């Protein structure tokens, strides 16, 4: 009996080792789980469900195979793949969830989020995030020719990398006040999120009661999985295969 949580894999064609590690995880470690939650940034970028990238089909097939073994799979959008839609989710056997989302985890109410909502000190990013949530803008972007969308995504990734290089680490982390507010508003004492790439389990006090915030890690150097069982939450690492072996698989 276990429920699994992952996030921030950032899959891309340039990192076949990460793809191989995720596929192995889905084919072996996740089999028999009560559920699997993917809390955003599964892909490095997403420009539409109609993108014919072979990587997308490989991952959809792996997720679908797991779901067909009676493992429910749930997905919360990240800041890199917020355009992932129902069409791809259906191909992958995943159910899309809102952000934040409240679940019952072995008798405890838990709030799930990708985590970028909690980085309130990064005002520039929060403004960008509000713009990307505009339905009419998403509708317009998804109707651009595929090469145009690819060019825009490439430019935006470059700008984001340059901007982040000049931001302090504290600005790009969550703010305690935002964490407390989200927990209070949903009457929860536990939160699970990703986004910051700082895997840890934080225990603290909220309104005189014990609370816990669990941060999922990325998959750049090793896999990161949260395994939850009744009364237990444990962060584990998964080794990435060697690059030459991954390219052969």
Binding site as annotated, residues for Mn(2+): 8, 10, 41, 79, 114, 195, 197
Q: What is the DSSP letter of 249?
A: -
> What is the rounded CA–CA span in Å between residue 55 and residue 12?
7
> What is the rounded CA–CA span in Å between residue 75 and residue 202?
23
Which one, of 225, 174, 227, lies nearest residue 204 by Cα? Answer: 174
Number of alpha carbons in the 13 Å side-chain half-sphere of residue 180: 10
Backbone angles phi, psi at 63, to 5 degrees: -65, -45
Cβ count within 10 A of residue 154: 12
Annotated binding site: 8, 10, 41, 79-80, 114, 122, 160, 164, 167, 195, 197
Annotated binding site for substrate: 79-80, 122, 160, 164, 167, 195
CB 38, CB 71: distance < 8 Å: no
* Distance (Å) of CA 181 to CA 31, 111, 120, 176, 191: 35, 12, 12, 9, 11
């Amino acid at each position: 009996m276990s429920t699994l949580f992952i996030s921030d894999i950032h899959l891309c064609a340039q990192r076949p080792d990460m793809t191989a590690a995720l596929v192995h995880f889905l084919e072996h470690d996740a089999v028999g789980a009560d559920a699997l939650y993917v809390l955003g940034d599964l892909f490095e970028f997403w420009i539409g469900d109609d993108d014919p990238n072979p990587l997308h089909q490989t991952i959809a097939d792996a997720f679908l195979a797991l779901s067909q073994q009676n493992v429910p799979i749930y997905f919360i959008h990240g800041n890199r793949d917020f355009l992932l839609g129902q069409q791809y989710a259906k191909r992958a056997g995943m159910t899309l969830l809102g952000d934040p989302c409240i679940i019952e985890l072995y008798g405890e109410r838990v709030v799930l989020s990708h985590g970028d909502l909690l980085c309130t000190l990064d005002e520039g990013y929060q403004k960008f995030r509000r713009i990307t949530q505009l339905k009419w803008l998403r509708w317009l972007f998804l109707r651009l020719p595929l090469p145009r969308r690819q060019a825009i995504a490439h430019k935006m990734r470059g700008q984001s990398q340059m901007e982040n290089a000049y931001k302090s680490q504290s600005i790009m982390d969550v703010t305690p006040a935002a964490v407390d507010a989200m927990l209070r508003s949903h009457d929860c004492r536990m939160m699970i999120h990703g986004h910051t790439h700082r895997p840890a389990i934080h225990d603290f006090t909220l309104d005189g009661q014990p609370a816990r915030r669990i941060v999922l890690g990325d998959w750049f150097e090793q896999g990161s999985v949260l395994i939850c069982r009744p009364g237990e939450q444990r962060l584990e690492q998964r080794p990435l295969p060697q690059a030459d072996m991954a390219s052969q698989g």
